[in-house]
Chains A and B, each alone.
Chain A
Amino acid sequence: MLLSVSDLSVSRGGRVLLEGVAFDVQAGQAILLSGKNGIGKTSLLRTLAGLQQANSGQIDVPQNAVVYSAHLDGIKQALSVVENLQFWGAVFGRSNLDAALETFELGDLRDELAGALSAGQKRRLGLARLLMSGRSIWLLDEPTVSLDLASVSRLSRVVSGHLAAGGAAIIATHATLDLNGQEITIDLGKFATTKSDLAASEKAFL
């Protein structure tokens, strides 16, 4: 088991959004998080990434296993595609640059400035960064935004390859990704709080 979440409560802006969130992720598995806008998909992913504190509950995950990719890809417009990837490779201590470029068909664009790329190409560059991280659990927040159909299926292939290699992924998405049956869809609607619950720091005042 790579990652295990139990009885997690996630809040945003003083209000509890999700409560009792519990799931396990095995190596080779992908979790697709679904649910309507504002239900707390991003907040959950940020909590799993360690960017946000859980209201309560437990997340069991090995150290340095998680990499997070969000709407904003951390791409520097003034650097070339290669320079962008090289930087993240250096941060994560990896040098599989050419493989990452090839997987997302960025080889022809390698010396272009990232600022000159289209939205879809930028997104691919952001995803190529995941490969540079060498981490086993990918947390992807709406990875298919601004990707064309071919790129979505390429993303599916890349994620499948990552799972086949013993990785895992937790993906918040509205699109359908074909991951060879390795995906489990979790509807966050069942964890949404129905009672009017406030985060602990607000409750203290009542």
Chain B
Amino acid sequence: MMSLWEYANPVKFLRLSSKVMPWAWGVGVSCLVIGLVWGFFFTPDDYRMGSTVKIIYLHVPSALMAINAWFMMLVASLIWLIRRHHVSALAAKAAAPVGIAMTLIALITGAIWGQPMWGTWWVWDPRLTSFLILFLFYLGYLALWAGIGNPDTAADLTSILCIVGSVFAVLSRYAVNFWSQGLHQGASLSLDKEENVADVFYQPLLFSIAGFVLLFFALVLLGTRSEIQLRRARALSLRGHTK
């Protein structure tokens, strides 16, 4: 039986991913278009929030992917450290820019939504603060990749940073929850209300989430492929020098 790990071989991965990628793009874009068009034009306004509620079709999926991208990086880092599959390390590297973009989208759409709802672009609500902190963690991770010349060293160090960073990111989440309650009662404009959205909003939201997931997948594949090709070029030029 063929093992899943076979595709951890860079060359096999390139071959397989070239077949998968067009589907991921196609289905992803379709889902997103369906979700957004349905959500924007064919759902009623919320009785409380009016038409502003429609930004959830961008806000919720991007926030979801911002966290999941980091989680994927964590898993990929562990796989690299334990099994030394190059594809895994490079997939983690490729996921980071997508993850930070998702975080930024979530923060910006949140601010745009917050303006009409709360009358301000920003509040130090635990959730908003956590996302801002997540953004900082992404920055550190990307900066470390950019700072190190040797690709294997960079993969090792960023993996360890990702693991240690995950622990501190979770700690930060708890710390922030703790920090903005108690002393600062009253400022808590929690976003928890969005969780009990009605079915009419829910179904297009599912499409939009699926679209984001697939587009994330396609972007990570694309990034991983180009990272692999860069490493190939490096290996070829190293070999050329020796000759």
A interface residues, Cβ below 8 angstroms from B: 13-15, 193, 196-198, 201-206
Q: Is B239 an interface residue (CB 8 A)?
A: yes
**Closest residue of B by beta carbon distance from A14:** B238
Report the nearest B residue to A15, measured CB to CB.
B238
Asked whether B238 lies within 8 Å of A205 as measured between CB atoms, the reply is: no
Question: Cα distance A201–B10 when bound, in Å?
Answer: 11
CB of B232 within 8 Å of the partner chain: yes
Question: Total A-B residue pairs with C-beta atoms closer than 8 Å?
Answer: 41
A197 to B238, CA, bound (A): 9
Query: Chain B: which residue is nearest A204 at the CB level?
Result: B86
Residue of B nearest to A16 (CB): B242
Instruction: Please name the residue on chain A nearest to B229 by beta carbon.
Output: A205
User: Knowing that A205-B234, A206-B11 are A-B contacts, what are 19 other residue pairs whose CB atoms are under 8 Å apart, sorted by A's residue number?
Assistant: A13-B150, A14-B150, A15-B241, A15-B242, A196-B239, A196-B243, A198-B235, A198-B242, A201-B152, A202-B234, A203-B235, A204-B9, A204-B10, A205-B10, A205-B86, A205-B228, A205-B231, A205-B232, A206-B235
Q: Which residues of B contact A198 (CB under 8 A)?
A: 235, 238-239, 242
Of A193, A202, A204, the contact of B238 (CB 8 Å cutoff): A202
Residues of chain B within 8 A (CB-CB) of A203 are 235
Please measure, in the bound complex, the distance between the C-alpha atom of A203 and the C-alpha atom of B240, giving whole angstroms: 13
Q: Which B1-28 residues sit within 8 Å CB-CB of chain A?
A: 9-11
Please, could you name 26 A-B residue pairs with CB atoms under 8 Å apart, sorted by A?
A14-B234, A14-B235, A15-B238, A15-B242, A193-B242, A196-B240, A197-B242, A198-B235, A198-B238, A198-B239, A198-B242, A201-B152, A202-B231, A202-B234, A202-B235, A202-B238, A203-B235, A204-B9, A204-B10, A204-B86, A205-B10, A205-B231, A205-B235, A206-B11, A206-B235, A206-B239
A205 to B242, CA, bound (A): 17
Give the size category of B's interface with A: 10 to 19
Tell me, rounded to whole Å, the shortest Cβ–Cβ distance linking A106 to chain B: 38
Complex Cα–Cα for A73 and B236 (A): 37
- Nearest CB in chain B: distance from A206 CB, A: 6
A114 to chain B, nearest CB (A): 32
Residues of chain B contacted by A205 (CB below 8 angstroms): 10-11, 86, 228, 231-232, 234-235
Q: How many angstroms from the CA of A70 to the CA of B10 in the assembled complex?
A: 38
If the complex has contacts A13-B150, A201-B86, A201-B152, are A206 and B242 also in contact, measured as CB distance less than 8 A?
Answer: no
Q: Roughly how many angstroms separate A14 CA and B152 CA in the complex, as a whole number? A: 9
A206's nearest neighbour on chain B, judged by CB, is B235
Q: How far is the CB of A70 from chain B (nearest CB, A)?
A: 20
CA distance A198 to B9 in the complex (A): 17
With both beta carbons as reference points, the residue of chain B lying nearest to A195 in the complex is identified as: B242
Taken together as a complex, chains A and B put the C-alpha atoms of A66 and B9 apart, in Å, by 38
| List of 9 A-B pairs having minimum Cβ-Cβ separation, nearest first | A196-B242, A202-B235, A205-B232, A205-B231, A205-B235, A196-B243, A196-B239, A205-B10, A201-B152
Residues of B within 8 A of A196 (CB): 239-240, 242-243
A14 proximity list for chain B (CB < 8 A): 150, 234-235, 238
